[in-house]
Structure 1
């Protein structure tokens, strides 16, 4: 297990160092050689973790999917409205740490690699759909809306929040607050649709 933890830490180190370099020199001006050198590793070691420079940007989405599975389990005994909100809040809170670097990673990902990110987005929607289906089965929500549609809207506001936050020049903007306000609007619609 210790070896696996070291590998994960090195991958994170490569990711953050790469993002710092992208911020300083611009994404297109940073080579794999420069990243490897800055991390104190061989170029071949970089390729053990990332097949291409572009995959550094995809790391954010891939790692978030692993985290999504972990926090879904953490809140499995919470009522569906609160469960979904807590999951989204934890996912968004990750962005508040190292916000400048993650804003850059997010905007570069959107700009250059969105088509490769569709697998992660679909997995995210599927996870949310399962949670909503379970809540319907357990009768903790009663709605006429299709679970996939609800999941799609929730994931949509999540990414809208990320995009709005990543392009915001206002450092005081709280990403979690933005999401919570939009989430309440959506949730009110879900709960009110049968009244």
Structure 2
């Protein structure tokens, strides 16, 4: 092939890819350290050293160590979104339970990291700044159930979504507090979710 016909990648594109590679390197170095030795025990200098970057480079990508928790949460949301896109269940109640199962799978894919960063997430006060992504998504299931006549019109989907989100977070927090292996997160989430659904979306409402 004639070299003059080869179009080089735009310089800006290369810079952005390199920037993303460095950011990813810092992130994955950090979460490995968090899982191994805990969030509070890990310093920015240790993260920079493991990622083989200068301390200043860390702050070019993350303003503070807590931003890594936000990044972790965003990546978990991406995995959940992909899982829900591939799901085939259409009944709102079963779909909600399947969603809880996906959330459990995400947490259990790396239990040590989940324990370390969930604890750090609470300590950093991130729960007070949580965007309503999860509650809105859970509320959408309730909207669909109400459309099907499975939920009374008196049930507010937004409040139901918030309640289901609180059930999820509360169950995960309790799981984190217990010794490893003492409780089954997936089973606990399923039971907790069903308890709420029995109040707003009873099985008898859709003949199951």
Return the TM-score normalized by structure 2.
0.76
Contact residue 54 and residue 113 of structure 1 kept, 8 A: no
Distance 1:45 1:116 in 2: 29
For residues 44-90 of structure 1, give each alpha carbon's deviation from its aligned partner in whole angstroms, at most 9, with x where no partner exists.
44335422111112222222222333233223652111111111211
Structure that is richer in helix per residue: 1
Cα 1:34–1:48, aligned 2, differ >3 Å: closer, same or farther? Answer: same
Tell me the equivalent position of 2:193.
183
- 2:87 pairs with 1:75: yes
For residues 128-181 of structure 1, give each alpha carbon's deviation from its aligned partner in whole angstroms, at most 9, with x where no partner exists.
2223213322x1623231111221111111001110011101424111111111
Tell me the equivalent position of 1:13.
28
State the superposition RMSD in angstroms: 3.0
Cα 1:7–1:38, aligned 2, differ >3 Å: closer, same or farther? Answer: closer
Q: Size of the alignment, in residue pairs?
A: 189
Tell me the equivalent position of 1:50.
62
Unaligned runs of 5+ in 2: 1-16
Tell me the equivalent position of 1:142.
151
Deviation at 1:185, TM superposition (A): 1.2
- 2:161 pairs with 1:151: yes
Distance 1:117 1:18 in 2: 25
Return the TM-score normalized by structure 1.
0.80
The range that moved more, 40-49 or 128-137, is: 40-49
> 1:85-124, aligned counterparts within 5 Å?
85-114=97-126, 117-119=129-131, 122-124=132-134
Q: Secondary structure at the match of 2:155?
A: coil
Rg comparison, structure with higher value: 2
